[in-house]
Amino acid sequence: MRDNKEYSVAMFDFGGVVAEEGFIEGMKAIAGKYGLDPEGVLDTATDILYESGYICGRVPEAVFWAAFKRRFSLGEVSDEDLRNEVLKRFVLRDWMLELIQRLRDDGFKAVLLTDQTNWVEEVNEETPFYDRFDHVFNSYRLGKCKRDGSIFDDVLKVLQVDPDRIIFVDDKDENIKLAERLGIRGILYVDKDSFLKELCSRLPELEGKVIC
């Protein structure tokens, strides 16, 4: 543990940070395939994801797809075809996994905190990456999501680390703001270059270890 450093924990979101954003890109692909409005499909799918409770593990995946297909009159399309459009787009970012390993080698604890479902577990089964993290927190298993700000309190209880010693990387500004209310230091992920520049400004000891 990096007791003599400002930060000791690096916490990452999954889709849009550790991996490409499979849900967003998958919904856009579904919209294109069936002649639907991409923005409308994404917004509706996101609403169903949360309102059904699927994202928090309260209902099985079939409930999500049943509601989705009813909304867009896709009853003849199989769940498997739809889910594959999402799953195949959660492509792990090798450079990010390498960075996380370097942080661990430098004494950081690495944490995955994601609003995800069984999908992230299937990605891990296909291409194992959970071993890059000291802790994995998945909303599907926790029964609550980031928009319920108390999830950050739960994570802090497990980590037993002062919040201001945690760097949290997420691609949604609202999640960063919720974490920062507790004193966690957030980095909004927009793209690789700006992220590395911001990370290196927080962690000057990374100079020479990553391309900043």
Chain segment 6-22, per-residue pLDDT in tens: 899 999 999 999 999 99
Chain segment 39-61, per-residue pLDDT in tens: 999 999 999 999 999 999 999 99
Strand partners, 9: 109, 166
Give the chain's mean pLDDT. 94
Split at pLDDT 50, 70, 90, the class of 4 is: very low
Question: CA dihedral defined by 210, 91, 69, 41, rounded to 10 degrees?
Answer: 40
The pLDDT of residue 149 is 87
Which has more confidence, 27 or 4? 27
Burial class (CB in 10 A: 0-12, 13-18, 19+), 39: exposed
Strand partners, 138: 114
Q: What is the DSSP letter of 7?
A: -
